[in-house]
């Protein structure tokens, strides 16, 4: 066996095509799911409206993908199996504005090097035409022959990794590999709603994604990915930031789950950029920040979001599998995503009881359409235009609820203006439309819960959690209005930093000052902190500055100061809110309900716990077997 020294002394030589393709395959083809992803992206780029997938043994024995796209010309069949052969780019400039899912021209060549591959295609409408090329990984010699085929392409991959047994050993069971393939299909089915996808495994139809022609079809496909429960607990948002409004043409639309609908794992977080499914730490950070105030600790949000922007503003050529991207203006994208999602969650209000029979926390919430978004009768998605935006019971677009009176509930529960008693409100002359979403209080249970009656049933409110959110939002608003105050340090703190961190501090000096910091660079690797935000005067100044600079370096923005501030305000709100066993009068309870209806994020307390739930009359009737 050659030693490292002898290996270094060996001459440089060109790798043979088979070996170089197998090395490339190691980056592109990890498992059968990787094959499906690459082949489906080719089919979608070819303009297909129907894709049929046949599998055997979880894709390890056979993967066959057939589409009705524009097909490949006979003269290009063998070239399609060569590395870096593609119809999607021509010049260097094309790399700056990639609008297709594939573009490198490596997938088919990589597949051919580690499997027995057959490619059959027809670029004409003549069904009797068509040609077929066959190649096996160990030979890499293509053989072309006539083969009748409808317009479109069929790629057949047999015995994956038959000539690279070391790679085959890393494959899991057929069931596990099939599950990963299904996950790929779910992701692609959301970004290309107009395409019908059929999945057969061992001769049986396993999945069918029907093309979405109307809003019900979109909802059905979404439910097929996330489940119906997500549909009942999701907000549809749509926001655009056009160049005319001073933006850079960013558009965001999609669904975000209510904070009460969360998961222990981040396995249902789908994000698309120009129709391409990606995983990006900047995006993940922006979404996490938007949910920070409302998500229970340790839980993960559920969402399917579609970001559209000028292809020249995003680089998709940063990873072999194209899962990662790089934004030219990362800070703008981060702020746009955070603002859109944060606003959508903040605008969630109780909108009256849902007709659905359910008792999950916070039913009947309204969907949110930003005022910045263009209102139209049709919605264009990455995959089709539909007559109207999806609208379920839990995804209606609504403005702020009407004001029903009531003021800020204090610990002392100061007297309010006279409110109508519940018995009078629910008289025969009362129209159900006049009853507020959370209804009117009828009792207090064990000094902890408020019981209220609305038009549809029973509302149960955790009075401390609800009042805590109201107090917290008031404190935040008051602090925002007053602005961040700077606290000069009696003795400036010297902080040792790397030269890069010191450069960052100088580069972002204005932004740091706006956050309440006064920082002076005293040497190549040393900073002097003279002032910090007054509210954080008890924090470690050096660590605080390091954390802020780390955020600025990674995301171009920071929320550290706001986070620390909000943690203090949350503690203050918790201590300043009405306590358990505090007996409230009916007017006091009604005032609290009205404040909930007018307060942002009132469905959760500061710690992410739900503040209210509902039992509809139908649910109560079923509980007591009434009408059966």
pLDDT tens across 470-487, in order?
A: 988 988 888 787 777 788
Q: Supply the pLDDT for residue 446.
A: 92
Average pLDDT over residues 318-341: 87
Phi and psi (nearest 5°) for 101?
-75, -40
Q: What is the mean pLDDT of the chain?
A: 81
Name all contacts of 124-128 with Cβ < 8 Å and 24+ positions apart. 124/71, 124/151, 125/151, 127/151
Superfamily name and number for 439-628: MutL, C-terminal domain, dimerisation subdomain (3.30.1540.20)
Burial class (CB in 10 A: 0-12, 13-18, 19+), 513: middle
Instruction: Average the pLDDT over each of 56-65, 265-274, 404-413, 498-507 and give the range with the smallest value.
Output: 404-413
pTM exceeds 0.85 for this model: no
Contact 393, 356 (CB under 8 A): yes
To the question of domain 215-397 being in CATH 3.90.1150.10, the answer is no
Residue 387, pLDDT > 50, answer no
Residue 551, pLDDT > 60, answer yes
Phi and psi (nearest 5°) for 472?
-60, -45
Strand pairing class (143-146; 152-158): unpaired
Q: Supply the pLDDT for residue 533.
A: 83
Strand pairing class (234-241; 366-369): parallel
Q: Supply the pLDDT for residue 368.
A: 40
Beta-sheet strands, E only, within 1-151:
50-56, 62-67, 116-122, 131-136, 143-146
The correct CATH number of 17-209 out of 3.30.565.10, 3.40.120.10, 3.60.110.10, 3.30.470.10 is 3.30.565.10
Alpha carbon distance 71, 212 (integer Å) = 24
Q: Percent of the chain, pLDDT > 90?
A: 47
Residue 425, pLDDT > 60, answer no
- Of the ranges 42-56, 99-113, 472-486, which is most confident? 42-56
Q: Supply the pLDDT for residue 252.
A: 96
Residue 452, pLDDT > 70, answer yes
Cβ atoms within 10 Å, residue 245: 10
- Of the ranges 148-157, 354-363, 430-439, 464-473, which is most confident? 148-157
Residue 227, pLDDT > 80, answer yes
pLDDT band at 408 (very low <50, low <70, confident <90, very high): very low
Q: For residues 483 and 270, which has the higher predicted lDDT (pLDDT)?
A: 270
Residue 403, pLDDT > 70, answer no
DSSP string, 361-385: SS-SBEEEE-TTSPP-S-EEETTEE
Contact 36, 59 (CB under 8 A): yes
Q: For residues 403 and 259, which has the higher predicted lDDT (pLDDT)?
A: 259
Average pLDDT over residues 340-359: 65
Average pLDDT over residues 546-551: 86
Alpha carbon distance 279, 270 (integer Å) = 8
Question: Would you list the domain boundaries of the chain?
Answer: 17-209, 215-397, 439-628
């Amino acid at each position: 066996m050659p030693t490292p020294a002898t290996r270094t002394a060996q001459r440089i030589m060109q790798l043979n095509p088979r070996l170089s393709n197998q090395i490339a395959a190691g980056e592109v083809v990890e498992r059968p799911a990787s094959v499906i992803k690459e082949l489906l992206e080719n089919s979608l780029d070819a303009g297909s409206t129907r894709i049929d997938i046949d599998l055997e043994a979880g894709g390890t024995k056979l993967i066959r993908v057939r589409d009705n796209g524009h097909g490949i010309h006979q003269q290009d069949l063998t070239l399609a199996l060569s590395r870096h052969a593609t119809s999607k780019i021509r010049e260097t400039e094309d790399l700056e504005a990639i609008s297709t899912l594939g573009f490198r021209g490596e997938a088919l060549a990589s597949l051919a090097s580690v499997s027995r591959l057959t490619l059959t295609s027809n670029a004409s409408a003549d069904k009797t035409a068509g040609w077929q090329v066959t190649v096996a990984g160990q030979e890499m010699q293509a053989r072309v022959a006539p083969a009748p085929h409808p317009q479109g392409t069929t790629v057949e991959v047999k015995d994956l990794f038959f000539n690279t047994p070391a790679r085959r050993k890393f494959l899991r069971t057929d069931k596990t590999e099939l599950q990963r393939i299904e996950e790929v299909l779910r992701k692609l089915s959301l970004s290309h709603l107009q395409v019908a996808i059929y999945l057969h495994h061992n001769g049986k139809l396993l999945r069918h994604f029907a093309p979405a022609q109307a809003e019900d079809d979109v909802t059905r496909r979404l439910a097929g990915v996330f489940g119906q429960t997500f549909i009942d607990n999701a907000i549809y948002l749509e926001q655009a930031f056009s160049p005319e409004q001073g933006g850079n043409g960013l558009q965001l639309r999609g669904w975000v789950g209510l904070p009460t609908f969360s998961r222990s794992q981040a396995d249902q977080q789908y994000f698309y950029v120009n129709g391409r499914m990606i995983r990006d730490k900047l995006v993940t950070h922006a979404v996490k920040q938007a949910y920070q105030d409302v998500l229970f600790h340790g839980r993960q949000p559920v969402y399917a979001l579609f970001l559209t922007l000028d292809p020249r503003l995003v680089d998709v050529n940063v990873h072999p599998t194209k899962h990662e991207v790089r934004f030219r203006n990362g800070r703008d994208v981060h702020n746009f995503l955070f603002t859109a999602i944060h606003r959508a969650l903040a605008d969630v209000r109780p909108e009256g009881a849902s007709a659905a029979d359910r008792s999950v926390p916070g039913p009947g919430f309204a969907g949110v359409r930003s005022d910045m978004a263009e209102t139209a009768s049709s919605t264009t998605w990455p995959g089709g235009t539909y007559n109207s935006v999806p609208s379920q019971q839990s995804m209606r677009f609504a403005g702020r609820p009407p004001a029903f009176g009531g003021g800020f509930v204090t610990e002392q529960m100061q007297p309010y203006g006279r409110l109508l008693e519940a018995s009078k409100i629910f008289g025969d002359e009362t129209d159900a439309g006049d009853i507020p979403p959370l209804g009117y209080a009828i009792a207090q249970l064990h000094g902890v819960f408020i019981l209220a009656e609305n038009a549809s049933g029973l509302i149960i409110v955790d009075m401390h959690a609800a009042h805590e959110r109201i107090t917290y939002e008031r404190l935040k608003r008051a602090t925002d209005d007053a602005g961040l105050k700077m606290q000069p340090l009696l003795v400036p703190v010297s902080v040792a930093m790397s030269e890069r961190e010191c450069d960052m501090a100088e580069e972002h000096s204005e932004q740091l000052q706006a956050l309440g910091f006064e920082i002076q660079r005293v040497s190549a690797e040393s900073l002097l902190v003279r002032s910090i935000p007054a509210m954080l005067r008890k924090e470690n100044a050096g660590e605080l500055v390091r954390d802020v600079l780390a955020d600025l370096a990674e995301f171009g923005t920071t929320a550290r100061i706001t986070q620390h501030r909000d943690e203090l305000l949350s503690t203050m709100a918790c201590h300043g809110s009405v306590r358990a066993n505090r007996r409230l009068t009916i007017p006091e309870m009604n005032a609290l309900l009205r404040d909930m209806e007018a307060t942002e994020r009132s469905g959760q307390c500061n710690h992410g716990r739900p503040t209210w739930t509902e039992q509809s009359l139908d649910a109560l009737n079923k509980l007591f077997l009434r009408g059966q």
